[in-house]
Amino acid sequence: MEVDLAVVGAGPAGLAAAREVARRGATVAVFDEHPVTGGRLRCQLHPAGRGWSSGRPKAEELAEAARAAGARLLTETSVWGLFPRNGRGHGGRPGPGPGGWVLQCTGWHTGPVTARTVLVATGATEGALPVPGWTLPGVITAGAAQVLANVHRVLPGRRVLVVGLDPLGVAVARSLALAGAEVVGVAQAPPGPASGRRGVPARALADLAGSVAGGSLLPPPLRLAARGLAREGLAGFALRRLPARPVKRWGIPFYLRQAVTELRGTGQVTEARLEPVSPDGRLADGKTLWLVVDAVCLSGGLHPLIELVAAAGARLACVPELGGRVPVTGPDFQTTLEGVYVAGGAAGVEGADVAAAQGTLAGLAIAETLGRISRAEAGGLKQRARLAVKLARRQAPITFHPRIHAGLRRLRACWHET
């Protein structure tokens, strides 16, 4: 197969880019290892304003628009390698491929795909939150609970514990309660280095308060103080003042002063141990609790899924505000590899509307590279697309990492250094 643009990932970013490029007459193929298109947007259901926002109709609309524009959507196909077409990079030194790129696929479509340009829109992945017993069946990630409940309409459990105080954990707890589960609690992540910032309750609370939607995700009495709580010192101070019992909100007990330290069960998870933890993430004296559960959702944070473009040799930068290691990108979402672009979660973890807007911008830049739009025309269109990204960011119903603007500035600085 030979195409002008190969897109890896049929989430909002990949679909929006495919639409922009295909409608200008270029040949576009979109690959996704899932049987259905839409990426994570399909399973999203989160509190927005006074109601709830479901991603499914938006995902279907984006896929339809890409298809109508002439893009081929190839599902159940995993892309496992990205190599320069001219042969370099196969065990040798990776480098830009003036002759385009070769994607190696497996699944429904098997074999190499040659592409003049590539967009890596592989999205984000969840971090691990190891705790003794976490391999027991019934212990799943927060994202898996989203997929089960919102896509497959299967309740993850009747008595569910959510571990990890972060925007996704809180959103998932609320959506499970909405779907009819008894959410027996949202508890702090186990203390220790493996939990990262969320293993330190004061940091977890400050990060939650500092994310745009964080204020609305906080249980009272903390909600009023959301702005101040975004500072770790004040968050720690507030935690110390809280009573040992959980704070209740939306019918869900928030164990802000207890961390999960063990999961137990035979064959599947049935019990979770909660122990008092200090705001700076050390086990403290106090009562140990055992909660009876039939499912546990671990929310370990979101990180860009960048293996494909990293292995191809793109320069990376560590930007914690964007979720960790991200490809260094320019203003058009181009990477340091000629003809390879990234957009959406793989370029930095943000919400779905931001991902779609980034995909549109990357698509315009790719259409320009392919000679499908003139430089002059592209200039104006990209300017408008850049504003749309900013607007989407400002209006995002959920954000995952605080201080995103600082992260973006640092990433741009890295680009100018290259």
Ligand X SMILES: Cc1cc2nc3c(=O)[nH]c(=O)nc-3n(C[C@H](O)[C@H](O)[C@H](O)COP(=O)(O)OP(=O)(O)OC[C@H]3O[C@@H](n4cnc5c(N)ncnc54)[C@H](O)[C@@H]3O)c2cc1C
Residues forming the site for ligand X (CB under 6 A) = 8-14, 31-34, 39-41, 44, 46, 78-79, 121-126, 143, 146, 168, 171, 302, 305, 308, 344-346, 349, 351-352, 355, 398
For residue 151, give the DSSP letter. Answer: I
Place of tokens 């504003």: 387
Where are any strands of DSSP class E within 39-110? 45-48, 51-54, 72-74, 77-84, 101-107
- Which CB, 140 or 263, lies closer to ligand X? 140
- Which CB, 9 or 407, lies closer to other proteins? 9
Q: H-helix or E-strand containing 273?
A: strand 271-276
For other proteins, the binding residues (CB under 8 A) are 33-35, 40, 45, 51-52, 54, 56, 76, 78, 125-126, 135-141, 143-158, 178-180, 267-268, 305
- Which CB, 40 or 109, lies closer to other proteins? 40
- Find the shortest distance in angstroms from Cβ 267 to other proteins: 6
Q: Is 265 exposed, middle or buried (0-12, 13-18, 19+ CB in 10 A)?
A: middle
- Which CB, 78 or 86, lies closer to ligand X? 78
Between CA 408 and CA 99 the distance in angstroms is 31
Partners of residue 295 on adjacent β-strands = 160
Q: H-helix or E-strand containing 391?
A: helix 375-395
- Find the shortest distance in angstroms from Cβ 167 to ligand X: 8
Between CA 326 and CA 346 the distance in angstroms is 7
- Which CB, 56 or 231, lies closer to other proteins? 56
Q: H-helix or E-strand containing 167?
A: helix 167-179
- Find the shortest distance in angstroms from Cβ 238 to ligand X: 26
- Which CB, 268 or 288, lies closer to other proteins? 268
The option from ligand X, other proteins, none interacting with 155 (CB < 5 to 8 A, set by class) reads other proteins
- Find the shortest distance in angstroms from Cβ 174 to other proteins: 11
- Find the shortest distance in angstroms from Cβ 384 to ligand X: 20
Between CA 392 and CA 122 the distance in angstroms is 20
The option from ligand X, other proteins, none interacting with 287 (CB < 5 to 8 A, set by class) reads none
Least Cα distance to 316 among 362, 101, 306, 79 occurs for 306
Amino acid at 123: G
- Find the shortest distance in angstroms from Cβ 148 to ligand X: 12
Between CA 169 and CA 375 the distance in angstroms is 44
The option from other proteins, ligand X, none interacting with 158 (CB < 5 to 8 A, set by class) reads other proteins
Between strands 111-120 and 340-342, the pairing is parallel
The option from other proteins, ligand X, none interacting with 10 (CB < 5 to 8 A, set by class) reads ligand X
